[in-house]
Chain A
Amino acid sequence: MTAPDPMTTKGAADSEPAAIAADRFESILFPNRQSPAEIDSLRQPECFSDLNLDQVVETATAGRGEYTLQPFFFATSRDPATIYYRHDVFRDLDNPAAGNCVRVFATAMQELRGHLAQAGKHYYTLQKQRCFLDAVDVYCRALRRLADELATTALQSEGLNRLRKYLADTFAARDFRDMESEAGKLIDALGQVRYALLIDGKRITVRRYEPEPDYGADVLETFEKFRQGSSKEYRFDFRFNAEMNHVEAAILDRVARLYPEVFSALADYCSHHADFLDPVIARFDREVQFYLAWIEYAQRFKDEELSFCYPAVSDQARAVFANEAFDLALAEKLRVDKSSKAIVTNDFSLTGMERIIVITGPNQGGKTTFARMFGQLHYLASLGCPVPAKEASLFLWDRLCTHFEKEENVDDLTGKLEDELLRIHGILESATSDSILIMNESFLSTTLNDALFLSRKVMEQIVKLDILCVSVTFLDELSSMSRSTVSMVATVDPIVPSRRTFKVIRRPADGLAYAVAIAEKYRLTHHDVKARISRNAGEGRA
């Protein structure tokens, strides 16, 4: 499925300086070396919450807040080469050997950032310097280890091979090796420093440490006989707090005067290595988390016997299909709830003239889930992620539009129906034939007659636009409006009609709905409600 990668062929021209530059590692996500500079200003697409992609991304990136991975999930692409570059990196990192090298590296980089953050927070130079020193030390060791471990791992992707080469070049440089060895020596020297304090009135005097008895222990021992059962109101914890006040800083300054060699070496080191952190490495550290996040996220579903695949993608062909596909957000919820309900997968396939899937069927039959699944697959494909299906061929779209009912908003002074119409109008105005549209139960807030009238009008325009569309509706009439329309139905168990199968299959709409049966299920029939309230009243008196 992997497309021929133009970068691989270029590797042959290694000897030419220009070719080396083109081959230099820049980004593990963007093979053409330019990351959209504005990546961090990307906003969450509006379809996100409708498709529950916000939940998907939140779960997938959970615990990785520091990397701000969300923008990468907003940066979709229509370029098949980019998609396939990412597929290759995914395949490499999905191998635990390579994946774990990168995880170990990431942990060290976190530690490094912790030190730097501390350095930034500190007000006093001597503290900043110490944190900085620790950061550089951690950094050097992290790079060494990453390089050592990647060297013994089989890598297929262009992205990681370029990184391996880049690291080798880094270590070859003298500057890096000096920075590395000096850090270790300084850390040892600082560990040896001890001192003593005299606090008297407004004065503090500092000198080198000489052994003296522990007076506190002496005092405690003296008063030990008075100790009673503990009265717990006030307790004193002398916890470590890295912050210093100016008096402590003044003390530290005097300690530095007592040990001048150590502290001047520290100052020199810091000013000399201010730019120790290579921006290419920093960027890799962040971007590679996109892969790890998705791999770990997908693994939890693979553990449940569900499949992920690398879809074939095209920005031309509208013949799309997927087998054994599922809604990630729902699957996660069922998984977390340890629900006994198995996750139901579904298939779809559009061929020839077919563009529009109209889904009908009983409430709670999996219609909306199916529509979300269709949207999620197409969205994820355009990120270069493995998608939740056994196999799939998907379309690279220019706009992915959703029209789901919005919650009523007190601040919004527009009526509900008008708001819905305004939104669908806006969508149809901006959509092109390369767009995808997903509609869920439009026009519920009006009468049956109005809903039919409005849905027909809108569907006529969708047919005319010739775009890929999924429409969930309770109006059976919509499922046979045009030759580009495919009818799919959420099915029920033929023996026990109130039991849903959550399978959505291709067949004519059958007009069944089960609302009153559901009312019984919730004990909300006239008789049930009266009996329940009278029981509540009885308990209230008891």
Chain B
Amino acid sequence: MKAFLMYVGRDFDPQEPLPANATDLMQDLGLEVIFGAMSGGDPFLQEVAKNAVLSSLAEQGEILYRQQILIDAMANPEVVRGLYDLAVEAIEREKHIWGWMTTRYPNELLHRSVEVMELFADRLSRLRRIADEHGPRFQSTGFCRFFAMLRTELDDEYLRRVRDHLARLAFRGGVLMSADLGPENKGVDYVLRKPPDARGGWLARLQEWVSHLGEEPQEAYTYEVAERDEAGFNALSELKSEGIAPVAAALAQSTDHILSFFKMLRLELAFYAGCLNLRDRLTAKGEPICIPKPANLGETVLSGRGLYDPALSLSMESRVVPNDVDANGKELVIITGANRGGKSTLLRGLGLAQLMMQCGMFVPAESFRATVCSALFTHFKREEDSGMKSGKLDEELARMSAIVDRLTPHCLVVLNESFASTNEREGSEIGRQIVRALLASQIRVYYVTHMYDLARGFFAECLSSALFLRAERLADGERTFRLTEGEPLPTSFGEDLYRLVFAQPTQAATPASSGATSAT
């Protein structure tokens, strides 16, 4: 029995190593925020979201398979969450029953396996009922197959047979052993002694034992576990089981198989549950989402309405300023303009939309179409390398070189202020050489830069496959966070900022404490 809700005929494997660019993508695109929203506080959902989003699908067909399932999930959120909760409940309850003593005490393992099997039998029946009741409303290939499988494999006859087995399993016995007082006054070195005769009441057995070896009755004290004291009985069982080693293994193994089915089900539904969480967060603040249209490698497509950076939106109260992008047929998009004008935000929005599309998710836009890329790479400017092996430019170039190691045609490379850690003339030259080589290798490039020399150079070439966007700055100096098509301009606006910052008194909250203060 397999869920197959992530791939056609294949399990989702979260153990598969993340692609080598995963760390960069996480950091550069602010994915923690997205995963956080998908998790809704559940670390498991977060982990699955991370794995699924970062392991991009390369085939249009694979993307569409998940999109269909996601559409079903968005239309029936309560059913999908119900299935997820059922799987979680089965797993969690199983864990709860496990306790900490089972692997040490076979007697407990037997008890436990019986209990687990009862639990699972009940959840399997409920799965069947969900399939009967809600299955017909689902339309995606993935869900239709899944529900049909449940109805066939878990028919009434099968479920009855399982219960019959469980009813037959029981356990009895009384045990005698010796012990020493070990470290921390704990009993140690339990050794099984010949058990007393099992006939007669417990008192008769006790008297026989007490007088077993000596002539005179020995001093002895009895403890009785209270009727409702489940933990007490577990403890008893634990003490007893030292001699009864291999009995419980077979049943335990069967429960393990069923458990792994629930785990896989949970894992694969977790992705969709995460998508539902993110959808709820975004729609609650009025942000649009849409199912994107992936285009095949052959055509160069990038167009979006109302595109925004969901990581940014989720980290602020109000909605963010969306942007429209029309870059069909464009291999190079260069974004320039005012500091703090929304350049990086748009770049992240584009990167995120691409990444989300490629794992089968909805995207943060009113509409979005883009060519499927074989892999997405980000190269953002970083803080001084704390590894200190290299200077900043070395660090940047080493990172770029590592990207080039993995680049193939039809990749997408997103650059943010890259190669700006040396002076502008040299940075531009390096950037120019690399970008030209990428374009010549059928790789699309989105590049935010303030290096006028670089941007101007490409603009002057009048390439039909290049698009130039500029952060808008109104006549009064105000920034709109909208980006419009426009040629690169020669200056940034540092002087304005200087006057603004150094004219105002320091606020208590500004980083005045940027240092160590010595005790005097």
Contacts and interface: CB of A to CB of B under 8 A. Distances in A.
Nearest to B504: A425
A416 B429 CA distance: 23
Contact of A214 (B192, B233, B426, B501): B192
Interface string A392-434: 0000111111111111101101111110011101110110000
A214 to B, nearest CB: 5
B10 interface: no
Contacts of A198: 174-176, 196, 205-206, 209
A518 B181 contact: no
Contact of A533 (B231, B426, B443): B443
Contacts of B401: 522-524
A407 B491 contact: no
B383 interface: yes
B424 A368 contact: no
Contacts of A413: 312, 316
Given A215-B176, A219-B243, A410-B33, A126 B202 contact: no
Nearest to B249: A234
Contacts of A365: 391
A231 B199 CA distance: 36
Contacts of B195: 215
B438 interface: yes
Contacts of A206: 220-223
A157 interface: no
Contact of B516 (A194, A399, A425): A399
A527 B434 CA distance: 9
Contacts of A405: 383-384
Contacts of B206: 198, 200, 203, 205
B464 interface: no
B169 interface: no
Interface stretch (A18-26, A44-52, A84-92, A96-104): A44-52
Contacts of A474: 422-423
Interface in A50-69: 50, 52, 55
B421 interface: yes
Contact of B236 (A202, A210, A397, A530): A202
B249 to A, nearest CB: 4
A363 interface: yes
A410 B25 CA distance: 13
Nearest to A197: B177
Contacts of A329: 388
A216 B225 contact: no
A515 B430 contact: yes
A237 B174 contact: no
Nearest to B348: A410
A368 B391 contact: yes
A271 interface: no
A382 B433 contact: no
A151 interface: no
Nearest to A231: B249
A195 interface: yes
Interface stretch (B42-50, B79-87, B506-514): B506-514
Interface residues of A, number: 150
Interface stretch (A167-175, A278-286, A303-311, A436-444): A436-444
Contacts, number: 435
Contacts of A130: 183-185
A50 B218 CA distance: 74
Interface string B171-207: 0001111111111111110111111100000100110
A398 B233 CA distance: 66
A213 interface: yes
B421 to A, nearest CB: 6
Contacts of B348: 410
Contacts of A496: none
A328 to B, nearest CB: 11
Interface string B406-426: 111100000011001111111
Contacts of B382: 407
A414 B340 contact: yes
Contact of A447 (B209, B236, B398, B424): B424
A443 B316 CA distance: 27
A495 interface: no
Given A199-B176, A363-B391, A416-B339, A426 B430 contact: no
A200 B205 contact: yes
B335 to A, nearest CB: 14
A435 interface: yes
Interface stretch (B61-69, B89-97, B98-106): B98-106
Interface string A179-223: 000000000001101111111111111111110111110110000
Nearest to A226: B246
Interface stretch (B114-122, B159-167, B492-500): B492-500
B248 interface: yes
A408 B312 CA distance: 13
B381 interface: yes
B285 interface: no
A159 B437 CA distance: 67
A75 interface: yes
Contacts of A349: none
A236 B105 contact: yes
Contact of A518 (B232, B387, B393): B393
A52 B409 CA distance: 40
Given A47-B514, A415-B340, A532-B404, A248 B184 contact: no
B39 to A, nearest CB: 17
A524 B421 contact: no
B157 interface: no
Contacts of B311: 410
A5 interface: no
Given A131-B184, A247-B239, 10 more contacts: A215-B176, A218-B194, A219-B192, A236-B245, A248-B239, A333-B389, A364-B394, A426-B512, A530-B437, A530-B441
23 contacts: A50-B384, A52-B388, A75-B519, A77-B518, A196-B179, A198-B205, A200-B175, A203-B206, A205-B210, A207-B221, A236-B106, A244-B186, A396-B518, A399-B516, A407-B382, A410-B30, A415-B340, A418-B501, A441-B421, A447-B424, A448-B425, A519-B397, A522-B397
Interface of B: 30, 33, 103-106, 109, 174-188, 190-196, 202, 205-206, 209-210, 213-214, 218-225, 227, 231-236, 238-240, 242-243, 245-246, 248-249, 252-253, 311-312, 315-316, 339-340, 344, 348, 380-384, 386-394, 397-398, 400-401, 404-409, 416-417, 420-427, 429-430, 433-434, 436-438, 440-441, 443, 450-452, 491-495, 497-498, 500-502, 506, 510-520
